[in-house]
Amino acid sequence: MTATPEHIQYWLYEHGYCPVTEVRGGGSDASLLLAKRNSGGAAVVKWARVARNQVDGHGPDALVRKALHHIWLRRNAEWFANAYPRLLLMDDEAGSFTVTDYIAGQSLEQHIIAYATGSGRQPRWTESSLMHGYLLTVESGLAAGVGQFRAWHWPAIDSLRRVERRLSFISRIAGEKSADAAGCWRRLDRLISSSASSPLTTLADLVSPAEPVRGFPLHGDLNLSNVLVTNSGALRHYLIDPAGIRRWRDPAYDIAKALVHLALIMPAKLSIGTRNLNEDVLMVLRRMAIELLELASVRRSLAMRSVVRRLVGYYVCHILSEAACRVSLAVQGQDLAGNLTFAQTYLAAGQTALRGLPRAAGGADLTVTAAVDGVVLPSIEQGMSVCLGLA
């Protein structure tokens, strides 16, 4: 059973909140409700809905995992839990909505869009402030001796299985829709069919650490829309909407997700949404992505021979997985044309990146230069070529 809007309103009233004063889109298949607390302050209610053909990681079950992530962090990594708004309440009956502190600010994605449209200054991530802070947080945990020191082969396998599940999801949906739908579904079906023989074994070799690395309590979905920047007093970044991974994992997984968002997702969003992707903005995003790779490759918390290999391997995993999220939204009727364009963009980029991996790695340790020239930039160019051709 999932909560109805009436159930949520009643539940909030019972727990000391005024009626909802603002309703905003929550991304994916969720809604965000802004409620005022009778005792002062405000809170955000996130409400998830059940829908047919949801990809894994969406829906009420995923929201429960996100709430449990907050609780797990408070018990196991208090020093990192403070990077998130507090979890105040959780609907323990229907398990389909949560209440967290409201943090006034804008996401890094909004900062970049404002810069692209001429209404804001260049995003602060060009100074790598967020990644410096994130990696310093990783290192503070490692210095405190938290986590487990081991080679993380199981999380690597888990990530690859997720890619396989999501490619199968795209294949199933595209196959069902291609027979009697518009040409966009047929194009997607042809594109996913060519992914069937993709060398996922190459990914397995890249994301499995060659030597032990201490695990870290990941965010799990470190994209620019999940990073809030607040200017109340000192500049501070908050993380929101974690993926619900309650295990110690390789921090390269999170950093690679940020890399994907900078290198590919933001350019695609700007070209389709605001249509303000000019060469200046693209250069800023590419430079930010390269800086991120360079920064991560020299940090003590990730200073291993295989770090760039792992970052690039997870980069490809995230691109392919993101395509399935877009198909899930499209099949639910949310911006069909736009989401299918995104899905095709990410699939094309992921395929190009996969083809470049063996050449870039060349059997030796992958360097930042080889990663950028052989994998990252070709994937951006191919993805944007498809995106602009379809938009």
Mean pLDDT of 221-245: 79
Per residue in 33-76, pLDDT (tens digit) is 888 887 878 888 887 766 666 676 666 777 788 888 888 888 88
The single residue listed with the structure tokens 């070799």 is 205
Alpha-carbon dihedral sign for residues 3, 33, 84, 87: negative
Q: Which of 134-138, 157-161, 245-249 has the lowest mean pLDDT?
A: 134-138
Question: What average pLDDT does the structure give for the chain?
Answer: 77
pTM: 0.87
Report the percent of the chain where pLDDT is more than 90. Answer: 5
pLDDT of residue 127: 43
Residue 220 exposure: Cα atoms within 13 Å on the Cβ side: 21
Higher confidence at residue 181 or residue 372?
A: 372
Q: Does residue 126 carry a pLDDT above 50?
A: no
Give me the pLDDT at residue 128, please. 47
Among 332, 366, 249, 285, smallest CA distance to 27 is for 332
**pLDDT score of 24 more than 50:** yes
pLDDT of residue 345: 92
Domains and CATH numbers, the chain: 5-101 (3.30.200.20), 106-390 (3.90.1200.10)
Look at residue 384 in the predicted model and tell me its pLDDT: 86
Pairing of strands 42-48, 30-36: antiparallel
Quote the CA–CA distance of 323 and 348 in Å, as a whole number.
Answer: 10
Q: List, for residues 166-222, the tens digit of each pLDDT value.
A: 888 888 888 888 766 567 788 888 877 766 555 567 777 777 766 667 778 888 888
Contacts 24+ apart (CB under 8 A), 131-134: 131/255, 131/258, 131/292, 131/295, 131/296, 132/295, 133/237, 134/222, 134/254, 134/255
